[in-house]
Amino acid sequence: MKKMYIEGLRNGIKKLLIDSDVILIGEDIEEPYGGAFKVSKGLSHEFPNQIINMPMSEQGFTGMAIGMSLAGMKPIVEIMFGDFITLIVDQLVNHAAKFSWMYEKKIHLVVRTPMGGYRGYGATHSQSLEKLLFGLPEIHIVAPSIIEDPSLLLRTSLNLGKPVLFVENKLDYSSKLLSSIDERYIIVKDQLAFPNYTIFYDEVESDITLITYGGLVQKATEIQKELYMDEEIGIKLIVPSLVSPFDFENLYKMVEGDENIIIVEEGHTPFGWGDTVLSQLVQLGFKGYIRTIGAKNIVIGAAKNLEDAVLPDFVIIKKLIIELVG
């Protein structure tokens, strides 16, 4: 049976809602709409008192959710598009994160939001803005992907006791989980609460290491398969599920001895996640070839040619890998 990413996410929310302290709040998440990407479709019929529609005031209802969490509840907030987290940065940075630390109190709060482009949604609906919160104390940023059922990470996030930004890439909603696509993918994960995954195609021999997260995992696994089948190039793909805070020393152990590393992210560069990973790996002693690739520092247009000119181009990345392995 081919399992879809969105099914795993919806079922995960459904299982969490069995606990009456769990509340899902957001814009247009009740029936008949069921959310902008239909993640909550049908849930308000089963849990009418726990699925709550909110007005267009992201700061207001995120603040309400923080109050709920202080009172011992476990709210899940849906921000309709990730671009709108700019409206709740104050609530997360100066409220939720500080309350967790100042009062030594568990804040069970997850903010779910779709990020990313490649769908022609234009300048204010195609960005990857999680970088705004990278490296800030007490805030965790979790990036599920098609590698594993996202419900597992969602449950861990809600039980963490600290505010979590849960970044769901738009491309993944209509995607199958990797195990349903091709059983020749070899997936190895560590035993951390938020695992790091290492993926190979068909065999564990590798010529180059690719590091990415979230929605770009799908594109990365596609070129992983293509280059293995067409060029006999083995790619070791490393995918963290927790992108901030981040254990750089653990990553260094995973790549120590590798000769070539490419780090790819969908967020704008420079000053991105990849740049930080590169810097930390070099400071820890990595001596091989390493570079980052991300969105160009240009506004993302709605037209396909304008969008393609900004976001990471995996045709170019594929050519680069062939040149490096040469």
> Is 5-174's fold the same as 180-325's?
yes
Query: Using one digit for the tens of pLDDT, what is the confidence trace for 206-257?
Result: 999 999 999 999 999 999 999 999 999 999 999 999 999 999 999 999 999 9
Query: Using one digit for the tens of pLDDT, what is the confidence trace for 42-74?
Result: 999 999 999 999 999 999 999 999 999 999 999
CATH number among 1.10.10.10, 3.10.520.10, 2.60.40.2140, 3.40.50.920, domain 180-325: 3.40.50.920
Query: Using one digit for the tens of pLDDT, what is the confidence trace for 84-102?
Result: 999 999 999 999 999 989 9
> Where in the chain are the domains?
5-174, 180-325
- Taking the CA atoms of residue 145, residue 299, residue 93 and residue 37 in that order, the dihedral angle to the nearest 10 degrees is -40
pTM above 0.85, yes or no: yes
Kindly state the tokens that stand for 145.
């992907």
Picking from 81, 70, 13, the residue whose alpha carbon sits closest to that of residue 47 is 13
* pLDDT of the residue at 326: 78
Average pLDDT in the chain: 96
- Domain 5-174 falls under CATH 3.40.50.300: no
Give the pLDDT band of residue 2 (cuts 50, 70, 90).
low
Q: Exposed, middle or buried: residue 253 (CB in 10 Å: 0-12, 13-18, 19+)?
A: exposed
Check if the beta carbon of residue 169 is closer than 8 Å to that of residue 116: yes
Kindly state the tokens that stand for 16.
């969490």
Query: Using one digit for the tens of pLDDT, what is the confidence trace for 246-303?
Result: 999 999 999 999 999 999 999 999 999 999 999 999 999 999 999 999 999 999 999 9
